[in-house]
Amino acid sequence: MKLKEIQRLLQADLVWGTEEHLEKEIEAACGSDLMSDVLAFGRPGQILLTGLTNAQSVRTADIIGAKALVYVRGKRPEQECLEQAAVKGIPVLSTPRMMYEACGILYSHGLPGVSPLQDTERQADVYGKDAFSHSFEITGRNFSRAGNASTTVKDILEDIGISPAVIRRVAIAAYEAEMNVVMYAERAEMTLLLTPNLIYLRLRDKGPGIPDIELAMREGYSTATPEMREMGFGAGMGLPNIRRNADRFEISAEVGKGTNLDIYFDLLPKQEGGA
């Protein structure tokens, strides 16, 4: 379904974009104000319908590879959203429809919903670049810059030529890890390390630590404040999303000192059987 048809069905205004953008083919739709759910179940080629009008909606759309953003209930995005959308080339629409109604209209006209990626989409390409590393400083409670490190990680991997399926998994894990720091810790250093065999994300934060890691890893468990929930986070999907997307994930914490994350993504095809 073309984006211009979605615009017609939803009686939506084109807030940012061109007639050329309206010719984009849309494969699926995802409607949610919980960005962690979008990161968990969104996929490239879709549109994202949301009532969340802050910068995180654009960053999330970019990370999952969404082709357009549709704000429901007649909402208009903040100026920062439009600026980011312009940089990323993501058209932005606004519909007077409620979320439930908008999704129902699109579904009834044949646009499917989204589902988790199949394992076959998680194949990585082998590349021959030299080892590379880059570090990022993340500041707690700085929501205006939240997501900058993970979007830079995504840009670096795209420039190097890593396969889109792998980039998507790395970007989701990086974004969830970064948002955990912003929401709960004082500060952190995130390091991206690339070798011919793997992508490694290392995060060391200074903060309260996690008293019960097993509990924190359960989907749906959350200690988020109302402020965090208003931003579309705090659904208890952050750490599970990291584990779901990584080939290997290690976490440790010391109460009163901080949390350590080690996240690995294989770049060599898995061998069948053993030696």
Arithmetic mean of pLDDT over the chain = 87
Query: Would you say 3 and 23 are in contact if contact means Cβ atoms under 8 Å apart?
Result: yes
Which of 159, 162, 181 lies closest to 170 in space, CA to CA? 162
pTM for this model (two decimals) = 0.68
End-to-end CA separation in angstroms for the chain: 48
Which of 149, 143, 172 lies closest to 38 in space, CA to CA? 172
pLDDT, tens digit (0-9, with 9 covering 90-100), for 262-273: 999 998 776 555
Collapsing DSSP to helix, strand or coil, 13 comes out as strand
- Distance CA(58)–CA(15), nearest Å, equals 14
As a whole number, mean pLDDT of residues 173-183 equals 94
Selected residue with higher pLDDT from 115 and 58: 58
pLDDT, tens digit (0-9, with 9 covering 90-100), for 89-147: 999 999 999 999 999 999 999 899 875 433 333 333 333 335 678 889 999 999 888 89
pLDDT, tens digit (0-9, with 9 covering 90-100), for 188-212: 999 999 887 899 999 999 999 999 9
pLDDT of residue 143: 85
Domains of the chain: 3-116 (3.40.1390.20), 121-266 (3.30.565.10)
Residue 231 has, within 13 A of its CA and on its CB side, a CA count of 20
Which of 115, 129, 122, 184 lies closest to 160 in space, CA to CA? 129
